[in-house]
Amino acid sequence: CGSLSKDPMLKKRDDFEDILEERRNSSDLKYALRCYTPVLYKGVTPCTSSMLKSMVLQSDQLHYVINQVSKETGKATDDIKEEASAILEEMAQCLQLSTVRFFAFTLSKAFKTLFRSICVNEDGIQRLQQAIQEHPVVLLPSHRSYMDFLLMSYILYTYDVALPVIAAGMDFMGMKFVGEMLRMSGAFFIRRSFGGDKLYWALFSEYVKTMLKNGFAPVEFFLEGTRSRTSKSLTPKLGLLNIVMDPFLKGEVFDVNVVPVSISYERVLEETLYARELLGIPKPKESTSGLFKARKILSEDYGSIHVYFGQPVSVRSLAQGKVNRCQFNLVPRHIPRRPSEDIASFVNDSAYRLVRAQEENMVLKPWVLVASLLLQYHHQNQAAGQKRGIALGELTAQAVWLRDLSRQYGAFLHWPDHIPPSEVVSSSLTLHRGLYVYTLKQHKELLSQAVILLSCASYRNQALHVFVRPALLALAIHTASSNQKQEVFNSFSFLRNMFSNEFILCPGATVQDFEEACYLLVKTGALQFTQQEVLVTERGHRTLAFLSTMLDPFLQGYQVKETLCNGCVMFCVQKGGCVHNSIQRSREHLRIGLKYMEVLSSDLQKNSLAALLRLGAVRKMKG
Amino acid sequence: MASNSSSDRQRIAQQRLRIIAGHLRAPVDSDSTILAAECKAQGSKTDVSSERKTVPRRRQEILKWNGWGYSDTRFLFNKKGQAEFTGKRYRLSGMIIPALQNWFEGTFGASVQHKSPAMPILTSSAVQPPTLNEAFVDELKSTGIPCSHDAEDRVFRGHGHCLHEVFALREGKVGRVPDIVVWPNCHNDVVKIVELACKHNVCLIPYGGGTSVSSALECPPEETRCIVSLDTSQMNRILWIDEKNLTAHVEAGIVGQELERLLNESGYCTGHEPDSMEFSSLGGWVATRASGMKKNIYGNIEDLVVHVKMVTPQGVIEKGCQCPRMSTGPDIHHFIMGSEGTLGVVTEVTMKIRPMPEYQKYGSVVFPNFEQGVACLREVAKQRCAPASIRLMDNEQFKFGHALKPQVSSIFTSFLDGLKKFYITKFKGFDPDRLCVATLLFEGDREKVLQHEKQVYDIAAKFGGLAAGEDNGQRGYMLTFVIAYLRDLGMDYYVIGESFETSVPWDRVLDICRNVKARIIQECKDKGVQFSPLSTCRVTQTYDAGACVYFYFAFNYRGLSDPVHVYEQVEHAAREEILANGGSLSHHHGVGKLRKEWMRETISDVGMGMLKSVKNYVDPKNIFGNRNLI
């Protein structure tokens, strides 16, 4: 994560342009039928989707694995080949321009009803176009909604950029008709888990690599693996990243350009769905009829979307000095091997770096700040047993304070400076009326109250990446036994380590993160450093209080988890079962009186359990 | 050499000689009428060269002191801006090359208006006075072995032909050079010199043809002892030819073209033809593990050598018999071959010889793209039917070759050229910016050659290859010999460049070609080179398990304050890229001092230890102190 500039205030960001504006003023049909001639990779080998499949089936990699599987299982190679061909059939995309045009038309209609604007940084598009021409490209959008990949293809079509092929979960395949439509718009489908299946893995990785190496199309996938239900970036999944970096590491291409894309929704379509899921209500199965039923969302206002195409990152320059590519010299490259330690840690570091690059360019709306403030306010009230709202004037003043603070911390905040702050605050309240009204009334039913609080928390979470490092420091100062710098660092390091499943904290960057946090807090006048000690300034108390309160729900979540784990012997074999079990237990706890509803979030519980396992506080037992 | 001999054998011999000499002197592209006329002219030229038997002690009399090759031979842009090749030695000599200027200016963004001329003569004041070990010099003089501490002689032996070496000379800059040059006349002279060197603790650096491109001849600047350059050029006799066993015993200072010429007179050849064979010496080949163009028939130097004699500080090392193969522990020849002058001086070599081939034929194949070309070469290697030479040039090099076409004499020829071009690009649909060409050389008896030729063309056809005639083939091989002269032309106009090579397994050939070329372009850009460089490659040798790849790289250095440093950084990066892509540190150029830093990762710690322990035993006082290799 070393590339971040020292002063986040100085980050240069491009301007946005609203692509819906033109849609509102000209014919959608013409737009869908217009001439589409994207710039391609200069080394492209022209081929069709079906040629791709046969290239994969004829590759050395696949031959090797087929023979291996045949030896292990005793099945005839021809049978395995047939099996392979069937798997590939199930997996492969068949990108067709006509389908894309269909989507371009229907999505235009839908987007115009749903969103006020879809803003895209055009400079980013230009950089992307350049990158596509030079090297194979991997697109890494953040993942907050099912909309993400349709939106990506829609934007790329609009700007005449090569359409990507997209790694999608098998769940979509279940949707009659829609699955095939998605396939024809460039999606290819992967099973969620295929751990031990050598054949599947070989087919899948070879398929992706073949498309990438030949410059067939940019390859798009979600580094986070799944939609983040909490709006917090998820710990990156490394499987696909490993696959797309492999051709570079093995010298099969000169370089691969990775482009992080940050998609920020003012209001996610799945807003309440997510909160319910977090509380343990299973997500509805993807189905065409479900989609049809969901059309009622068309009547609501989802604000605007900001899509920021980040700086293309060259895998070659990422790997410079970190990976010794000579390690592939002594074994034929088509024989599958576990990634060596240096490669595994390189891919892991890169993944974190890329997720942070996504986070950095996420646009924050004023509501995110307002939600953070309201949540803190709500909890304080609750603790004090009071049941009253907050004056708009006071809220505005606090929001302005937080606005300035977050800007100093480098947040990509879209706060309309030409409008008086009070109007900004009230208009963002209007958009999210559904949430705050209930927040302020104390709702009777526990579940629906939790849904609302978790939804609010998910907005606050959007800003977490801006505050997390200073907040960890604030918490560290709070919990450290003394003001000694070393003590504070130790405490910071402990907290950071504990929360490393929760937030995107680059592995091995503790010192850097500590320094960054210190720098920010000193810069904003909240802290002073003497030779040995860390001192909180007069005006720093407010900042520090805000920051540590921000992490409070998480802290409590981990504490609850710990007490729970201490208190009971775990019989559960499966982690899933265990989480479920503990959710029920937390509910019991809640009756005893728990400050934060968020503790109920299955995401938080999963993360905390993982952290406790990692730290050795809890052991998994079999039987 | 009588031209009307009645002896059948002599007649055949002369025919072969013509063919080989013709190939040596890089015949021009021409139609059949010109070809017939050329045979005579060529014969008389061969006579001219046979008058000169040796490289003189004062090499500077016939060779450039600050560039490649013969003093009378160079490229230049004449007043009309047309390129010309001067002298009489090569087929291309005296000809106008009309397309070169355009290619040159277009490729490098250079201009014939912007000259960067070299210093015409060496100022002796630039040369440090020699550090002489008086006792050594006195004893040396008493042996009667010729020696010199003349500045020109010393400077000439202080460098090879790396870009930085030639660039410095052109600017009149001279670093540490040998303090004295000695010219032994035979093996025993060398024994005496080495004894004296050990006795007086002076540093010896063997010098053969001076064509090193690995900084191997550079005097280590930290060397404080008197440095003696041991020039083997006067040891250039064939001592005997054994027709029963088909071997020849030759003094190691003989240069390639001389060796072939003398053997040809007896109807034999070695078939060892490295690109530098006009100037490089037998001893140098052994010391660097050289490879020849026609290794597919004759083998590389390690296959050709039957017996070697080397003088070391510990005495003379040689085998006690001349057997074809032995199982007597590690082959001591392999301590000698590739030792790069760090262990001793090779003085005499017994080499395999072959009767001269009856028939030779050039050929060429055009492929729609480089990938297909490589696939074809791989198949040829798999079927083990490679011709004497098979080389695949990439698109840039194909264009380069075209730019070197001399002026055609008739409208008919240019019309034919146009027709050929039309057929390949329009009718066959080859993209002129992607197609590439393989050049071929077949050798053997006539029938077999024709049969062989058909086999290779049939394979090529499977990979979309079209036979493209003998001329293209010949021109490809001509490029080999004139390319080094072309570098000097570039340096006259702000363009610097170099070639380097590697060997690589078959499955990585395409990857290494693409990545190294791209790396060169990227590094040039990063280092502030204004105009995109020429970055091109060719596959020059095929083996069962891989191929040898040659890269050419050149750029326009206007606007750079330290062009040589930029050049070195780019070459360094290119070598790292080669190694990262599974290529070797060197296929035949050797390591010298230029590539020493990568030796450990190339041969492992234990490997380094082995080499060092041999060095420590053979030369504990580091008499052979050129510090190459380890």
The mean-pLDDT minimum among A487-501, B412-426, B489-503 falls in B412-426
Contact A251 B581 (CB under 8 A): yes
Q: Give the pLDDT of residue A595.
A: 65
Asked if pLDDT for residue B627 goes beyond 70, the answer is yes
Nearest CA distance, B334 vs chain A (angstrom): 24
Residue A382 pLDDT grade (very low, low, confident, very high; cuts 50, 70, 90): confident
| Integer Cα distance of A258 and A137 in angstroms | 6
Alpha helices in B181-235 (DSSP H): 187-200
Average pLDDT, chain A: 85
Q: Give the pLDDT of residue A589.
A: 52
Asked if pLDDT for residue A400 goes beyond 70, the answer is yes
> DSSP code of B427?
I
Tokens of B24: 């040596």
Residue A9 pLDDT grade (very low, low, confident, very high; cuts 50, 70, 90): low
Chain B residue with minimum CA distance to A332: B507
Is B342 labelled as part of a ligand binding site?
Answer: yes
| Integer Cα distance of B620 and A600 in angstroms | 77
Asked if pLDDT for residue B4 goes beyond 70, the answer is no
* Of B270, B237, B451, B476, residue with least CA distance to B363: B476
Q: What is the pLDDT of residues B144-161, one digit of tens each?
A: 999 999 999 999 999 999
The percent of residues in chain A predicted with pLDDT above 90, rounded, is 52
Asked if pLDDT for residue A3 goes beyond 60, the answer is no
Asked if pLDDT for residue B117 goes beyond 90, the answer is yes
Contact B512 A251 (CB under 8 A): yes
Residue B413 pLDDT grade (very low, low, confident, very high; cuts 50, 70, 90): low
Bridge partners (DSSP) of residue B204 are B228
Q: Give the pLDDT of residue A171.
A: 73
Contact B511 A252 (CB under 8 A): yes
Asked if pLDDT for residue A77 goes beyond 70, the answer is yes
Q: Give the pLDDT of residue B28.
A: 42
CB nearest to B508's CB, from A43, A251, A255: A251
Q: Give the pLDDT of residue A611.
A: 81
Q: What is the pLDDT of residues B393-405, one digit of tens each?
A: 999 998 998 888 8
Is B508 labelled as part of a ligand binding site?
Answer: no
| Integer Cα distance of A13 and A121 in angstroms | 9
Which long-range contacts link B519-522 to residues 24+ away (Cβ below 8 Å)? B519/A254, B519/B573, B519/B574, B519/B577, B520/B551, B520/B553, B520/B570, B520/B573, B520/B574
Residues of A with CB under 8 A from a CB of B: 43, 251-252, 254-255, 324-326, 328-329, 332-333
Mutate which: B372, B433, B510, B522, vs A, most A CBs within 10 A: B522
Contact A325 B512 (CB under 8 A): no
Residues in chain A: 623
Neighbours of A400 (CB within 10 A): 17
Residue A578 pLDDT grade (very low, low, confident, very high; cuts 50, 70, 90): very low
Is B16 labelled as part of a ligand binding site?
Answer: no
Asked if pLDDT for residue B27 goes beyond 50, the answer is no
Q: Give the pLDDT of residue B412.
A: 65
Tokens of B400: 């380069």
Nearest CA distance, B505 vs chain A (angstrom): 9
| Catalytic site includes residue B550 | yes
Which long-range contacts link A186-190 to residues 24+ away (Cβ below 8 Å)? A186/A93, A186/A95, A186/A100, A186/A153, A186/A217, A187/A93, A187/A149, A188/A91, A188/A92, A188/A93, A189/A90, A189/A91, A190/A91
The mean-pLDDT minimum among A378-382, A461-465, A573-577, B447-451 falls in A573-577
The mean-pLDDT minimum among A66-70, A429-433, B133-137, B269-273 falls in A429-433
Residue A432 pLDDT grade (very low, low, confident, very high; cuts 50, 70, 90): confident
At A448, is the secondary structure helix, strand, or coil? helix
Burial of A86 (0-12, 13-18, 19+ CB in 10 A): exposed
Contact A254 B514 (CB under 8 A): yes
Is B346 labelled as part of a ligand binding site?
Answer: yes
Contact B507 A332 (CB under 8 A): yes
Residues in chain B closer than 8 A to A255 (CB atoms): 518
Nearest CA distance, B581 vs chain A (angstrom): 6
Residues in chain B closer than 8 A to A333 (CB atoms): 507
Q: Give the pLDDT of residue B473.
A: 87
Residue A570 pLDDT grade (very low, low, confident, very high; cuts 50, 70, 90): very low
Nearest CA distance, B398 vs chain A (angstrom): 19
The mean-pLDDT minimum among A165-174, A210-219, B55-64, B417-426 falls in B417-426
Q: What is the pLDDT of residues A122-149, one digit of tens each?
A: 999 999 999 999 999 999 999 998 889 8
Residues in chain B closer than 8 A to A332 (CB atoms): 507
| Integer Cα distance of A403 and A365 in angstroms | 10
Mutate which: B510, B515, B575, vs A, most A CBs within 10 A: B515
Q: Give the pLDDT of residue A6.
A: 53
Asked if pLDDT for residue A41 goes beyond 60, the answer is yes
Nearest CA distance, A347 vs chain B (angstrom): 18
Q: What is the pLDDT of residues A169-226, one digit of tens each?
A: 877 777 778 888 889 999 999 887 777 889 999 999 999 999 999 999 999 999 998 8
Q: Give the pLDDT of residue A278.
A: 81
CB nearest to B580's CB, from A252, A326, A333: A326
Q: What is the pLDDT of residues A595-621, one digit of tens each?
A: 677 777 778 878 888 887 887 776 665
Is B344 labelled as part of a ligand binding site?
Answer: yes
Contact A251 B579 (CB under 8 A): no
| Integer Cα distance of B162 and B67 in angstroms | 10
Asked if pLDDT for residue B552 goes beyond 80, the answer is yes
CB contacts < 8 A (A, B): 25
Contact A254 B515 (CB under 8 A): yes
Q: Give the pLDDT of residue A412.
A: 93
Q: Give the pLDDT of residue B396.
A: 94
Is B542 labelled as part of a ligand binding site?
Answer: no
